[in-house]
Amino acid sequence: NAGVTQTPKFQVLKTGQSMTLQCAQDMNHNSMYWYRQDPGMGLRLIYYSASEGTTDKGEVPNGYNVSRLNKREFSLRLESAAPSQTSVYFCASSEAGPGNEQFFGPGTRLTVL
Amino acid sequence: GNSVTQMEGPVTLSEEAFLTINCTYTATGYPSLFWYVQYPGEGLQLLLKATKADDKGSNKGFEATYRKETTSFHLEKGSVQVSDSAVYFCALSVNDYKLSFGAGTTVTVRA
């Protein structure tokens, strides 16, 4: 079991470039999430997918789009990157329902110049 | 809204010292409470959780008790090791899947 995998691990973009962060899980979880981690701010939810076929905005969705490609995969797209999107991005998954543990990927460190 | 406030760091301790990280919360509803840990260069992993008042979560020598009367979920360990050096996050969820995280507390344990 690989758990939650993310690609790439590192990325440097120029302002205005686009890119897609990939996430996959092999635990047959219904729910998947994208967070960003910034110093002193903990993790903030960007988007989530409660189940295959649904996506919803989290706390900080502006500048991002997501696709729940199938039950395993949940991608995050930056259409026109900005320096404010420099961050570490984490994907997570869980069983549906409150109180369930979320399993996190290793993260993608993104720098926008 | 829902929010978590946790003790600011960084915290530096000697091996075998006692560790406490304070966490208080505000929630509309009856939350589940979590402590996650992030070791250097890794993603977060669940350390312990509690889903109702007076529950005690425990794992790897760490403990936290869900105190509804003080809206707190403080993390404690009686004797820390160098391998406990990490960032610790308090979090909550209320009636849905989403987690609200505190800012994180960096703990460094010196040999």
Task: Please tell me the distance in Å from A82's CA to the nearest CA on chain B.
Answer: 23
How much is the pLDDT for B98?
Answer: 83
- Whether the predicted pLDDT of B97 surpasses 80: no
What single-letter amino acid sits at A58?
A: G
Q: Write out chain B residues lying below 8 Å of A50, CB-based.
A: 97
CB under 8 Å to A56, separation ≥6 — which residues? A47, A48, A49, A50
Mean pLDDT of B5-21: 94
All residue ranges of chain A with pLDDT < 70 are 98
Q: Which residues of A touch B (CB under 8 A)?
A: 4, 31, 33, 40-45, 48, 50, 58, 90, 92, 94, 96-107
B58 and B65 in contact (C-beta within 8 Å)?
no
Read off the pLDDT of residues B15-73 as tens digits, 9 standing for 90 and up: 999 999 999 999 988 899 999 999 998 899 999 999 999 999 999 999 999 999 999 99
Mean pLDDT of B89-104: 88
